[in-house]
Amino acid sequence: MLTDQEIKHVARLARIKITEKEEERFRKELSSILDYINKLNEINTEGVEPLYQTTGLVNSMRPDEYSGNFSSGDGSASGWEMDEDLNKKLIGQSPDKEKGFIRVRSVLGK
Amino acid sequence: MENHTIKSIQEGIKRGDFSAHEIFDHYAIKIGRENKRLNAYLSTLVFQASVSGSQSQLAGVPCAIKDNILIDGTIATAGSKILENYISAYDASVITKLRNAGVQFLGKTNMDEFAMGTSTENSAFGPTKNPHNLERVTGGSSGGSAAAVAADLCVFALGSDTGGSVRQPASFCGVVGLKPTYGRVSRHGLIAMASSLDQIGPITKNVYDSALVLNSICGNDKFDSTTAPENAPDFTKNLDQDAAGLKIGVPREFFRKGLSLEVEDKIKATISRLEQMGCSIEEISLPNFEYALAAYYIIVPSEVSANLARFDGIRYGYSSEKSKILEDVYSESRSFGFGAEAKRRIMLGTYALSSGYYDAYYLKAQKVRALIKKDFDNAFRQVDAIVGPTAPSVAFKIGEKISDPLSLYLEDIYTVPINLAGLPAISIPCGNGAESNMPVGFQIIGNSFNEETVLRVAHQLEASFR
């Protein structure tokens, strides 16, 4: 069973604010999931190499050349050259912005 | 006009029964009328006159897109409150490909938040209802896409499958769902959940349509470096070749506690059918099957905790206005924006990756994953395809399992191992359960990059049910 302390610590690491009620709920739920997961300890994995992905591809390379065209697939879509429109599309999603830049709140508390 | 397939749309347009615009409007009106009841679509789109692609077999075909796949200039919520107002800045590669083929997009479909779930009840916008019985779930996470296809609110749909999210809802809704080999279809523009497992796949009314859509969306993409460099075959080519002589493996581990009787009956009857078709049925073993789900629920939350770190309340998505300092912007935006399952998985992954636990959980799970892949490699030395159930039960009732996350995780027990090994698999309907009268899905699993055999067996079986 996870402790209150561990749940608080994990929530803090994950940057998720949780209420006391949530703390209790997640403590129980995550503990029961971890109990299930612990069955992995039944298997002997000594000498087994971990498998992180299944493509068999290693270091998929491309020439490091500038390409104004970010379109994919069949190369039909228009380019992604950074201009005012694309800036608006991307920066425009930010809840707090000024003159094409994103504004953030102070890092240190007052 | 009813229950159109890709072929019937092609023929209808060719004969002049309707234009692409008219058939689009037919579906748009139908969605307007019926979506309230099902909640399959989260948003709808308008007809694009500029799209042509008249040479393509998909030209003018109206489809639905899961709401975690980006369409330029339109909202993509991924089923989450945190992206409620997010507008895509570009087309996903699969969208570019479909657009070039002349496909029309009817709208975006409901899903479990960030594709985390097996019932679509984790959507921030309410569950989708199963068209076969409105009291039951559609499965998930691509529940909106599966319901839209089953209710003929589109001709086909795209979903994404990380541990069964295309196949299991297809099974619950009585339609065809294909998860291609990892690396077959580009995920560029798919909102990432677990990157070593995510794969986009079609949900269709029949196997032929599934092959047609795969033809259109597959292939190498410079924006997804996991896509295979090899050229893909024409997946429709071998569909008509009969299945006689194929060796079909049935893992003994599939018939276990937790598999419902009505599903087991249908699966066994379908296996007998394959035998009658001239396939040789061989009992095989996947010794580590039992451990796949446990490994999956370490690997997925770990990748989720990394992928969802981008939702910071700063660059896009929901942002807490009351926060005074930066760190509170993060934690308060994420607290309000994420639902319970997203929080659960982020926290579980954070725990598994945290200092002191990495070896015991994450590394251990990746080693078990290697063993599971090896089990499949061994099996495919003996057989051409592996078959079994897609899910342990038929669609359950809405609300029945929502309070017990682990019981929902167990829904994926037959689909998860396939993602861990990166293999292609399809779910096709094989009749309704004797007790519930709800659809049962039959799963056909192939070796890496061998969708052709999977589709061929599926097509032959489908023909035998007609």
**pLDDT digit string (tens) for B206-237?**
999 999 999 999 999 989 999 998 889 999 99
Contact indicator for B429, B440 with CB cutoff of 8 Å: yes
Q: Catalytic: B66?
A: yes
The CA distance from B395 to B362, in Å, is: 32
Query: Are A40 and B366 an interchain contact pair (Cβ–Cβ within 8 Å)?
Result: no
> Which residue from A36, A45, A105 is facing B326, i.e. has the nearest CB?
A105
Per CB-CB distance under 8 Å, the chain B contacts of A52 are 196, 366
Give the HSE-up count for residue B372: Cα atoms under 13 Å, Cβ half-sphere. 31
Query: Are A110 and B325 an interchain contact pair (Cβ–Cβ within 8 Å)?
Result: yes
> Which residue from A2, A50, A96 is facing B370, i.e. has the nearest CB?
A50
User: String of b and e for B184-210 (b: at least 16 CB within 10 Å)?
Assistant: bbbbbbbbbbbbbbbbbbbbbbbbbbb
- Domain B247-288+372-465 in CATH 3.40.190? The answer is yes
pLDDT reading at A71 higher than 80? no
Please, which residues 81-100 of chain A have a Cβ atom closer than 8 Å to chain B? 86, 89-90, 93-96
Walk me through the domains of chain A, giving residue ranges and CATH numbers.
Answer: 4-41 (1.10.20)
Contact indicator for B139, B444 with CB cutoff of 8 Å: no
Q: Read off the pLDDT of each residue in B71-94 and give the average, rounded to a whole number.
A: 96
Q: Catalytic: B257?
A: no
Domain boundaries, given as residue ranges, for chain B: 6-217, 247-288+372-465, 293-360
Cα–Cα distances (Å) from B172 to B363, B370, B387, B433, in that order, read: 34, 30, 17, 11
Percent of chain B residues past pLDDT 70, beyond the cut: 99
Distance from CA of B257 to the nearest CA of A (A): 16
Contact indicator for B117, B142 with CB cutoff of 8 Å: no
Q: Which pLDDT score, from 0 to 100, does residue B160 have?
A: 98
Residue B347 burial by Cβ neighbours in a 10 Å radius (0-12, 13-18, 19+): buried
Q: H or E element: which one contains B41?
A: strand B41-44
Q: Does A58 touch chain B (CB under 8 A)?
A: no
Q: For the ranges B52-61, B109-118, B281-290, which has the lowest average pLDDT?
A: B52-61
Neighbours of B214 (CB within 10 A): 24
pLDDT reading at B265 higher than 90? yes
- Minimum Cα–Cα distance from A78: chain B residue: B90
- Reported ipTM: the value is 0.91
**pLDDT digit string (tens) for B11-69?**
999 999 999 999 999 999 999 999 999 999 999 999 998 876 677 999 999 999 999 99
**pLDDT digit string (tens) for A11-31?**
999 999 999 999 999 999 999
Per CB-CB distance under 8 Å, the chain A contacts of B223 are 70, 72
Q: What is the dihedral of CA B187, B189, B195, B199, to 10 degrees?
A: -40
Query: Are A37 and B305 an interchain contact pair (Cβ–Cβ within 8 Å)?
Result: no
Architecture field, domain B6-217: Alpha-Beta Complex (3.90)
Percent of chain B residues past pLDDT 90, beyond the cut: 93
Distance from CA of A49 to the nearest CA of B (A): 6
pLDDT band at A79 (very low <50, low <70, confident <90, very high): low
Per CB-CB distance under 8 Å, the chain A contacts of B196 are 52-54
